[in-house]
Amino acid sequence: MTQTETLAHEPRTFEQLIAAGERIEPRDAMPDAYRATLIRQIAQHAHSEIIGMQPEGDWLTRAPSLRRKAVLLAKVQDEAGHGLYLYCAAETLGADRADLTANLIEGRQKYSSIFNYPTLSYADVGVIGWLVDGAAICNQVPLCRSSYGPYGRAMIRVCKEESFHQRQGYELLVTMMAGTREQQEMVQDAVNRWWWPALMMFGPPDTDSPNTAQSMAWGIKRHTNDELRQRFVDMSVPQAHALGVTLPDPDLCWDERRGSHDFGQPDWSELARVIKGDGPCNAERLARRRAAHENGAWVREAATAFAARQRQAVVA
Amino acid sequence: MSQTQESWPLYEVFVRARRGLNHVHVGSIHAADDEMALRHARDVFTRRNEGVSIWAVRSDLIAASSPGEKDAFFAPSGDKVYRHPTFYQIPDTVPHM
Ligand SMILES: [Fe+2]
Ligand SMILES: [Fe+2]
């Protein structure tokens, strides 16, 4: 050990830790706004994982084979796990689990707009894995280096599992594209419907994202919305080509000078509408989440009563 | 929101990835009792053979050092550089040390 390392035991302020690129841990002092921003971001992320089970869950009973059903079940179960990793990260900041659930059900906290679109055909399951989980991976990989320790660690676990999600989706699409004409058209139709909502997953354009600068200074956001969107487009184009589908954007072309693809802008007014609650499935998603919570009340009560009885038996 | 959910205590979960390794903290879960804590921990943290053994410990039973008193708390080891092998100068010509 060197002399400078022994000095590491001097307490360092939040600002010094952030400047040094070190992680903030739950019991450290931190600005109220940093805590509040993180709770909102992590809760919204957790809610997205939980609500995200529903669009694909709709196909669990209709998957075409036992293999596909087992894969989809495992994927949906992972999303529940992701939600739980994230809720526990939010709790390290002082958030209460029951409050978080209530905030989602009562519409006080948001979840990703993407899950308010319907899954109309089985090809949607494949396209969600490929594009929606693909976009999520673009967003989440940089978050593994979040300045807040528990969030970064949760993201590392999530990212390890997301790779399976994307690959199972793409494999499903490859299989369908090798099938009948009708199956190929189902895939193209699903791509047409999901491409633009997937681009919206990165949030509004940088010019319309006022909190980005503060979040980047705090190390809880590592790239801007537009940077991540560009990365996603550049990754997806060769994948679409290999699959044999067309991405529904007439402006999409390779820009030799930038070494990136130029692409069209999504309909930002649609994003605003869906976030406000006016998407195709917002009401249905929240109603289903509320029903699951309310229908589970008797199970929670029974488990609580059982645990109390067991404790009494030990004391007696 | 029903009161019962709020009364489920928080457990910290530690997983031994394989024989020969320590249990490592992986996160937390809520459960009504110890047995349910282990089942929930298994479902949430070991879906892909990530562990051969799980500890679940009530969070409120963990004694933790406080970051506020970090300076004084860890000071006793801070000035004892002679506890580290690199403190000692050995001639480069001496092998295996
Ligand atoms: Fe996920
Ligand atoms: Fe996923």
pLDDT at B1: 44
> What distance in Å separates the CA atoms of residue A155 and residue A145, rounded to the nearest whole number?
9
Strands (E), chain A: 253-255, 260-262
Minimum Cα–Cα distance from B84: chain A residue:
A1
Residue with tokens 């709770």: A39
Distance between CA A38 and CA A72 in Å, rounded? Answer: 31
pLDDT of B71 reads 64
Domain count, chain B: 1
User: Which residue, among A79, A258, A210, A235, has the nearest Cα to A157 in the 3D structure?
Assistant: A79
pLDDT in tens, A285-310: 999 999 999 999 999 999 999 999 98
Task: Give the type of residue at A5.
Answer: E
Pull the structure tokens for residue A61: 């009973």
B10 in contact with A, Cβ within 8 Å: yes
Contact yes or no for B81 and A85 at CB 8 A: no
Contact A303 B36 (CB under 8 A): yes
Counts for chain A of helices (H) and strands (E), in that order: 15, 2
For the record, the structure tokens of A189 come out as 């139709």
pTM over 0.80: yes
CB-proximal residues (5 Å) to ion ligand 2: A 133, 162, 165
CA dihedral B49, B54, B57, B62 (to 10 degrees): -90
Range of the domain at B53: 3-66
B66: nearest CB among A2, A27, A310: A27
Residue B62 burial (CB count, 10 A): 9
Domain annotation covers residue B85 = no
Chain B residues whose beta carbon lies within 8 Å of the beta carbon of residue A25: 67
B86 domain residue, yes or no: no
Measure A108 CA to nearest chain B CA, in Å: 14
- The answer to whether the beta carbons of residues A96 and A163 sit under 8 Å apart is no
Report whether A122 contacts A61 (CB < 8 A): no
With 50 as the cut, is the pLDDT of residue A4 above it? no
Does residue B25 belong to any structural domain of this protein? Answer: yes
Query: What token pair was written down for A136?
Result: 């999520």
Q: What pLDDT does residue B79 have?
A: 81
The verdict on residue B38 lying in a domain is yes
Tokens 């910290």, residue located = B12
Q: Tell me the pLDDT of chain A averaged across its residues.
A: 94
At B27, is the secondary structure helix, strand, or coil? strand
Domain assignment present for B89: no
Instruction: Look at strands B10-16 and B53-58 and give their pairing.
Output: antiparallel
B33 part of a folded domain: yes
Inside any domain, residue B18: yes
Distance A71 CA to ligand 1 centre (A): 15
Q: Give me the residues paired with residue B15 across strands.
A: B24, B54
Most B CBs within 10 A among A27, A88, A156, A163, hence the mutation to make, goes to: A88
Q: The domain spanning residue B60 has which CATH number? A: 3.10.20.520
Q: What is the pLDDT of residues A131-172, one digit of tens each?
A: 999 999 999 999 999 999 999 999 999 999 999 999 999 999
pLDDT band at residue B5, thresholds of 50, 70 and 90?
very low
Position B66 pLDDT exceeds 80: no
- Whether residue B78 is contained in a domain is answered as no
